[in-house]
Chains A and B, each alone.
Chain A
Amino acid sequence: MSVQTQYPTASVPPRAETQVRAGGPGVKMVARDVKVYYGAKQALKGIDLDIQENRVMALIGPSGCGKSTFLRCLNRMNDTIENCRVEGLIALDGEDVYGRTIDAVQLRARVGMVFQKPNPFPKSIYDNIAYGPRIHGIATHRDEMDEIVQTSLERAGLWNEVKDRLREPGTGLSGGQQQRLCIARAIAVSPEVILMDEPCSALDPIATAHIEELIDELRENYTIVIVTHNMQQAARVSQKTAFFHLGEMVECDDTEEIFTNPRDERTQGYITGRYG
């Protein structure tokens, strides 16, 4: 990781003047002046954010503030939405993710995603995990694949629960297990960053606690960005928190700082529950 990354202006078509000096030690992803439009409606109004390596970054804010939109920009999931236009710069390890050197498919292999609702494929548990490694040709032998499946499930804390029924459909698991299966599925392609879009909102408190523990463990090997509505959760799992409001990033700081000593009154209002 270079200390000072100079981004070539050519790779930032919408705003050619942006000369971003970003990063620094341990910065995995940077966003500079990111604007997103759905048709004529502007959803993000210029977001600047640095995402630290091996940290959990929580994005909080009221509904419709653009935190999920921002998350989906990080691995270009917004490409699948019609009329969606992204401006500004997003870089992964100094490489513009909307540039020519990397395409969405490669990017998503490096920046994995876990969704709000567990969405296991209608395949067996084994095949759910093996899906990613198969399409990327990561494993060449059966043994290798078996090992990837086992490690991924172990890291997601699901191995002991499902090791005897790997051939059963992933859709037959409980909601919390399904979500851990989805996390294991994301881990299986060894991404560098994992994006989580309200991963616990469809789960009960016990399953939520499971996932939160898991996120904390995963931090060792991955950079994690998590969108959450639950502020206790943000406080529990994250080291950095960014507060979004009406398409703007109001403030971003150490989680403890945000929750104990917010600088902006909008942040204070939100975390104390005055609105949101």
Chain B
Amino acid sequence: MQIMALLLVLALLTVIGFQLGRSRATASVGGRTVELHSVPSYHGFYVALWAGLPALLLFALWTASEGWMVMQMVLAGLPGRLTHVDGQALSLLRADILNLAHGVNTGRVPDPAVAAAAEQYVRLRSLGDWSLLVIGSCLAMGGLLFARGRITPDLRARNRVERTVNVALVVCSLVAILTTIGIVLSLLFEAMRFFAAVSPIDFLFGTHWSPQMAMRADQVGSSGSFGAIPLFAGTLLITAIAMAVAVPVGLMSAIFMSEYANPTLRTWLKPILEVLAGIPTVVYGFFAALTMAPFVRGLGQAVGLDVSSESALAAGIVMGVMIIPFVSSLSDDVINAVPQSLRDGSYGLGATKSETIRLVVLPAALPGIVAAVMLAVSRAIGETMIVTMAAGLTANLTANPLEAVTTVTTQIATLLVGDQEFDSPKTLSAFGLGLVLFLVTLTLNMVALRVVQKYREKYD
């Protein structure tokens, strides 16, 4: 409530600040704006930034630290018998206070001291919010007045605004980078917990995957075996099938669209092909499981082959279809980027259209096409749903596309579906798989980028 109010006040003050700054700048030179160092609107932005930014920074800091500070104050007021305990009990106590404060019914009668602490917590929080509103508004007002007072014809408002925007841009890109680093780190730490339980050698080179663990000491059977080779082999098999479908079809359709189709046809064809990219993978999964898999099975039976009803072939083909627009759209772009002058040069030597495409256009576009294929491969490796639905969960180590296989991503999904305890190797193995998968796709993407960079703009 107070937070909304503060944001509203800030928005209002920045708008007012912009207007004030602009008019003040214009007034300072008596309307002859050419005498200003910067255009008046930059003075407006300058004042607006001073009004908005400091208050926003305060707001960010406050919300990040308020909960913790208030909790410390509340804990300090509690009797020692409650607070002088080990870390785990202390975090329980904190949770109790928070639950009470937020009115969550825990079904237990709270300790009176804890109940009092919860009330104090609520009171302090509300006080904090109000003071944030007041202090924030004052800060914004102060910033506005300060900046307005500094406006002179010589103020280098443009440079200052541009520098601020520059910093904002850096911060935004940092967000993306830090998020990635955070994800990688969380993956890494969980994976390390897994590798503490299962040796990396067994994991990477074992050929038997059966993650069922004994839940109790007296349980027999399911001892857990974490050889990831069948999963990676399955991933490889399905990816290979998918690429065998997607690369030729995608590339050929890209060549048709960019070199042979007339513009009208092209404007129709390209969006239609891109609709394929918009179909959710679950729908592809239906198609794979209900249409493709029985079809492959029927076909196999007709020629006397034994095809399991969940086959790598069906999943791979459908996955390939899913990736076609990816390959064709990217390849189409790179083929179009090949300069017309190269085609002219080839035609001018008496080459036919197909010779020109095969010997000049495709080689020139090759880096881009390779990159497109690499990206498609990472996409295929990461695909989960189609395999879950159509290729099954059996971790077979086989190169036969007619059998059921499973992939890394599918296993990760099944391992983490449902209620899990996060200290058993079974659950943690998902992080191990995730880490290896991440490294593989990262390598592929880096290779793709390298290829593109190395051969980029060699013509032109």
- Which candidate, B155-163, B350-358, B410-418, is the interface stretch facing chain A? B350-358
Q: Which residues of A contact B348 (CB under 8 A)?
A: 75, 77, 108, 112-115, 186
Q: Does B189 contact A (CB under 8 A)?
A: no
Q: Is the CB of B343 within 8 A of A105?
A: no
Q: Check if B249 is an interface residue, CB within 8 A of chain A.
A: no
Cβ of A119 and Cβ of B342 under 8 Å apart?
yes
Contact A169 B349 (CB under 8 A): no
Give B447-460 as 1s and 0s: 1 = Cβ < 8 Å from A's Cβ atoms: 00000000000111
User: Once the chains bind, are B459 and A171 in contact (CB under 8 Å)?
Assistant: yes
Contact A171 B345 (CB under 8 A): no
Residue pair B363, A123 in contact (C-beta under 8 Å) = yes
Residues of chain A within 8 A (CB-CB) of B364 are: 121-122
Q: Is A82 an interface residue (CB 8 A)?
A: yes
Q: Is A106 an interface residue when CB atoms closer than 8 A count as contact?
A: yes
Chain B residues 235-286 with CB under 8 Å of chain A are: 262-263
Does chain A have a CB within 8 A of B88? no
Closest to B355 in A: A135
Contact B350 A189 (CB under 8 A): yes
Q: How far is the CA of A117 from the CA of B343 in the complex (A)?
A: 13
B378: interface (CB < 8 Å): no
Interface residue tally for chain A (C-beta within 8 Å): 31
B35 at the interface (CB under 8 A from A): no
Interface string of A80-116 (1 = CB under 8 A from B): 1010000000000000000000001111111011110
Q: Is B359 an interface residue (CB 8 A)?
A: yes
Contact with B along A52-90 (1 / 0, CB 8 A): 000000000000000000000001010010100000000
Flag whether B98 is at the interface (Cβ < 8 A): no
Q: Which of B343, B349, B363, B458 has the most CB of A within 10 A?
A: B349
Query: From A80, which residue of chain B is reached at the shortest CB distance?
Result: B347
Residues of A within 8 A of B355 (CB): 135
User: Which residues of A sit under 8 angstroms from B351, Cβ to Cβ?
Assistant: 105, 108, 131-132, 135
Out of A82, A122, A123, A135, which one reaches B350, CB within 8 Å?
A: A135
Residue of B whose beta carbon sits closest to that of A194: B348
Q: What is the bound-complex CA distance between A266 and B33, given in angstroms?
A: 51
**B360 — which chain A residues lie within 8 A by C-beta?**
121, 131
Task: Say whether, besides A82-B263, A131-B359, A135-B359, A121 and B346 are in contact (CB < 8 Å).
Answer: yes
| Known A121-B360, A135-B359; contact A77-B350, beta-carbon cutoff 8 A | no
Q: Does A136 contact B (CB under 8 A)?
A: yes
Contact A186 B344, beta carbon cutoff 8 Å = no
B432 to chain A, nearest CB (A): 43
- Contact between chains at B359 and A108 (CB < 8 Å): no
Q: List 24 A-B contacts (CB under 8 A).
A: A80-B344, A80-B347, A82-B263, A105-B350, A105-B352, A110-B350, A112-B350, A114-B348, A115-B344, A115-B348, A119-B342, A120-B459, A121-B363, A121-B364, A131-B351, A131-B359, A132-B349, A132-B350, A132-B351, A135-B349, A135-B359, A169-B458, A185-B349, A186-B349
Pick the 9 closest A-B CB pairs, nearest first. Answer: A109-B350, A113-B348, A108-B350, A119-B341, A132-B349, A119-B345, A122-B459, A122-B458, A122-B364
A residues apposed to B, CB below 8 Å: 75, 77, 80, 82, 104-110, 112-115, 117, 119-123, 131-132, 135-136, 169, 171, 182, 185-186, 189
Q: A105-B350, A121-B346 given. 13 additional CB < 8 A pairs? A: A75-B348, A77-B348, A82-B262, A109-B349, A112-B348, A112-B349, A115-B345, A120-B345, A121-B360, A122-B459, A131-B360, A171-B460, A189-B350
